[in-house]
Amino acid sequence: GDSVTQMEGPVTLSEEAFLTINCTYTATGYPSLFWYVQYPGEGLQLLLKATKADDKGSNKGFEATYRKETTSFHLEKGSVQVSDSAVYFCALSEYNFNKFYFGSGTKLNVKP
Amino acid sequence: DAGVIQSPRHEVTEMGQEVTLRCKPISGHNSLFWYRQTMMRGLELLIYFNNNVPIDDSGMPEDRFSAKMPNASFSTLKIQPSEPRDSAVYFCASSPAGGDYGYTFGSGTRLTVV
């Protein structure tokens, strides 16, 4: 079945450091891929998405590229800020099913 | 657009009591999802609806849990009777048709059963 695996957290970085959060997936068809962010006490917010192979999603300085050959969708940011501290979820959705599969979440702590 | 609206934001109840959580999806979204989030189990999909019809309720933990969507603008998740292990944050999310639009989540209801 479909599933998403993302790296264990927490990830602790200093401000302006480079961020990578790994995400790999298993899917039977041709999924769309997403990253969501959850700030403390809030619901999940869509951060970026990619709907087909080699697409790059980007938003707020974050990027992720849909790599079908490695079944990956790693999240990157060149220079993190304290305000980026949150939990990040990788997710996939198969178009025909409109059902999402979420990873377990990776907590990011950015220190000043 | 006001987004997905959940109520109440916080609920504290005694074991054995009935609890009802409410959700108003975004107008025009035809899919609605209920999730539960805990530290131990992360995000769990409980049930989802397409066009007000329950499609998959395999995530509903027990018969004590039930969900309804009487119309396109309202859904409820009910726990009767509640137990301390039901303590969690419950999220409602909605989306348009198709899987590549993404969900919009509500702010959640933090349920504490004492």
Q: How far is B83 from chain A (nearest CA, A)?
A: 23
In B2-113, where does DSSP find H-type helix?
Answer: none
CA angle at residue B75 from B73 to B76, to 5 degrees?
155
Region B15-20: what's the mean pLDDT? Answer: 97
How far does chain B reach from its first CA to its final CA, in angstroms?
36
> What is the C-alpha to C-alpha distance for residues A63 and A60, in angstroms, rounded to an integer?
9
Q: In what order do the strands lie in the sheet with A75-77?
A: A19-21, A75-77, A62-65, A56-59
Which is more confidently placed, A5 or A41?
A5
Would the pLDDT of B52 be above 90?
yes
Residue in B56, B91, B100 closest to A95 by CB: B100
Which is more confidently placed, B41 or B71?
B71
- pLDDT (tens digit per residue) in A67-106: 999 999 999 999 999 999 999 999 998 766 567 889 999 9
> What is the C-alpha to C-alpha distance for residues A57 and B77, in angstroms, rounded to an integer?
34
pLDDT computed for residue B99 by the predictor? 58
pLDDT computed for residue A83 by the predictor? 96
> What is the C-alpha to C-alpha distance for residues A73 and B88, in angstroms, rounded to an integer?
29
Region B104-113: what's the mean pLDDT? Answer: 96
Among A46, A100, A106, A107, most B C-beta atoms within 10 A, so best to mutate, is A100
pLDDT computed for residue A53 by the predictor? 93
- Chain A residue with minimal CA distance to B48? A99
Q: What is the mean pLDDT of chain A?
A: 93
Judge: A44–B97 Cβ closer than 8 Å, yes or no: no
Judge: A44–B95 Cβ closer than 8 Å, yes or no: no
pLDDT band with cut points at 50, 70 and 90 for residue A11: very high
Would the pLDDT of A25 be above 90?
yes
Partner B contacted by A70 (CB < 8 A): no
pLDDT computed for residue B103 by the predictor? 86
Cβ atoms B83, B68 nearer than 8 A: no
Q: How far is A23 from chain B (nearest CA, A)?
A: 16
- pLDDT (tens digit per residue) in B81-108: 999 999 999 999 998 876 567 889 999 9
Region A32-48: what's the mean pLDDT? Answer: 93
What SS3 class is residue B3? coil
